[in-house]
Structure 1
Amino acid sequence: MDKKLFEILACPLCKGDLKNEQDKQELICRPCGLAFPVRDGIPVMLEPEARTLTTDERL
């Protein structure tokens, strides 16, 4: 994913910072406990598409 695009992205729910997990192709919002998928280099920032983080992932 383009670094400039990542710099302007925020969580659509809390507007907080996201962590780019390139190996998992996800953008992580720890406060919300969600992982948004990145498909073909395009972040899918929709809550219904997000995966809920496990307890260990939230730490």
Structure 2
Amino acid sequence: MGITVDVYDHDTDSTHQMLLQKLSKRGSYILSGGWLMDFVIRRVLKKKDEIGMYWDRSD
């Protein structure tokens, strides 16, 4: 179970709906529901590639 969030890709000016899920009681989270197709495969991301993320608490 989780919450649906909009993830904006600044490089491609596109927005994707993802599911933000808490993995453990220690505060680990994952994005699912399209992350693999919408970001990893489409952007040809590889192991050790770095991405930047920003969380806008006011939006």
Q: TM-score range by the shorter chain?
A: under 0.3
Using structure 1 for the length normalisation, give the TM-score: 0.27
TM-score normalised by L of structure 2:
0.27
